[in-house]
Amino acid sequence: MERLQAERIESIKAGGLSALVCGTVVLVGAIANTVLATRWNALTVFSLNWSIGLHLAHAMLAGLLFGVTYRYVVRQGENPHLSAGAVLAFALVRGLAQLETGWTLHGNPTLLLLLGGESALMLAIAAGVLNVALSRKAIQPFVSF
């Protein structure tokens, strides 16, 4: 029972770290897009306004779920296909959901590429941070029962 509780705590740590990283990436992207939107109208959708809060919350929730799942996926060791596959799978799911909504609302292919790229970049950075945390033992790898 104690081991199960310890695993849950480590999963919460991984999810929290990943959520923090994903939220930071989205926030930095929103600020950069606000600056760039003065020169490129396609980015005005991402300017800082009330909807960025929803975008940020969605990114942090995706990051939380990614962190918990990623810790479980990479438990077996150094298989780059598993870690890259987890990043790609989460990025595709998040990006395709944004694509469906974005295409319906805006019909702008450039915007859709930015949304998909943001998801892939956000989760790749989160995976890198989680790998560093796992290698430094700040987060313990998942141990099969």
Closest to 94 measured CA to CA, from 18, 36, 16, 7: 18
H/E stretch holding 57: helix 51-73
Across 111-131, average pLDDT: 89
pLDDT in tens, 8-32: 999 999 999 999 999 999 999 888 8
Structure tokens at 42: 């396609």
59-102 residue pLDDT tens: 999 999 999 999 999 886 678 888 899 999 999 888 888 776 65
Average pLDDT, the chain: 85
Mean pLDDT of 47-70: 86
Check residue 41 and give its pLDDT: 63
What confidence score (pLDDT) does residue 18 get? 98
The pair of structure tokens assigned to 104 is 């319906």
Q: How many CB atoms lie within 10 A of CB 40?
A: 10
Burial class of residue 96 in the structure, from the number of CB atoms within 10 Å of its CB (0-12 exposed, 13-18 middle, 19+ buried) = middle
- Residue indicated by tokens 């799942």: 69
Q: Are 68 and 15 in contact (CB under 8 A)?
A: yes
